[in-house]
Structure 1
Amino acid sequence: MLTGCAQTQGTGEKGFNSGDGIVTVLPVAEREPLPELTGRTLDGQSLTLAEYGAGKTVVVNVWGSLCGPCRAEADDLVEADAELPDTGENAVALLGINVRDPGPGAAQAFVREYGITAPSVVDEGEALLTFSDTLPANAIPSTVVIDDQGQVAASIIGETTKATLVGVVDEVQASGRTAAEQDS
């Protein structure tokens, strides 16, 4: 979902690094709880990840309106959000973290342009730090999948596609079910 991005070898003119789509899915035993993430959404509402994503798999996408790869993946994210269930046992919630935009107008215009309905927290320097053990600080776009237990389960560094994102979510949810079955 972000002009001025460069590939991982360099930094773009706006200080963004774009990854190459590296996907990492952690085994259940290696997952760690995500520290609390709170913030204000683009429309000024307070949002707490623990409340927003309680009992759901949460897809957190880091984006900015100025990033070309973010623009390239925006339609795929919207399509994945529409395909993934938002209720029931395999419920998924999508959340954005908007970074380095020159002001709320650019981010709001981006959301309108791509028809994004999921909320985005405006990162004022702290939201992205929540993911410091998972994401490189300047890798934009990036996506993190948090399992229904609130643990970091997977990451995609760089632009993603609908197929990749849906596949990663399916894998995270299946591994969680398998681990729960082994525990019973």
Structure 2
Amino acid sequence: MSRSSRRRGAAVVLALALVVLAACSGRGTEGSTGGYVSASRFVTSVPVEDRTDAPVLEGEDLEGKRISSADFAGKTLVVNVWGSWCPPCRKEAPVLEEVAQQYADRGVQFLGLNVRDQTAAARAFEERIGTTYPSIVDSDGRQQLGFADSLPSQAIPTTWVIDAKGRVAARVIDPELRASTLSGVLDDVLASTS
């Protein structure tokens, strides 16, 4: 691949990342708090026959170790995009941890994608919440872009559920996420692949 082709490819990836990340910033719009623009609540479920393969998510965790979603093959995977700077992320973090603990013995693994954050701030936030699952540092939004062809991220936070066969099964965007909502989605996905 030529140097100019690589540069064009990098420019396209950067432009897409900026578009995705811009969805969570702004001022003066309804639902906005401190520069954060919230999304409307909804759950999008994909029928089994329409599910597509999930992207492989990989990078460094908050401790600098390499991690990949492929490490959890065969499990139902809950992927959450978050940042310690994001008010709804801070609010839903205890809910995610509660559901992660509740479903740990049912073949469900949680994985975070930490965006636009300083690693030290993200680690401090996770320690304060008591988060037990890993997060991949996704400061450039590249990991999120992997969902562009299935259920793209439209806001931060966004949560995807990937079924045990590695297919995108659901997306949840809910700034008021409750454990019952996420549990209901997980129950549906687990039942659909059993």
Q: TM-score, normalised by structure 1?
A: 0.83
Distance 1:109 1:57, change over 3 A: same
CA offsets 1:35-92 (integer angstroms, 9 cap, x no match)? 22111100001011012x2110000010000111111111111111111133xxx400
More helix as a share of residues: 2
Could you say which residue in structure 2 is the equivalent of 1:76? 95
Q: Do structure 1's residue 85 and structure 2's residue 116 form an aligned pair?
A: no
Could you say which residue in structure 2 is the equivalent of 1:180? none
Could you say which residue in structure 1 is the equivalent of 2:143? 127
Whether the 8 Å CA contact 1:7–1:19 is kept in 2: the answer is no
Whether the 8 Å CA contact 1:94–1:119 is kept in 2: the answer is yes
Gaps of 5+ in 1: 178-184
Distance 1:115 1:8, change over 3 A: farther
Q: 1:20-169 to 2 correspondence within 5 Å?
A: 20-51=40-71, 53-86=72-105, 90-101=106-117, 103-125=118-140, 126-133=142-149, 134-137=151-154, 139-159=155-175, 160-169=177-186
CA–CA separation in structure 2 for the residues paired with 1:163 and 1:79: 11
Whether the 8 Å CA contact 1:31–1:153 is kept in 2: the answer is yes
CA–CA separation in structure 1 for the residues paired with 2:59 and 2:134: 11
TM superposition outliers: structure 1 runs of 4+ over 3 Å = 4-14
SS, match of residue 127 in structure 1? helix
RMSD (Å) for aligned C-alpha atoms? 2.4
Q: Percent identity?
A: 44
CA–CA separation in structure 2 for the residues paired with 1:107 and 1:141: 14
Query: Larger Cα Rg: Structure 1 or Structure 2?
Result: 2
Number of equivalences: 168
Gaps of 5+ in 2: 1-24
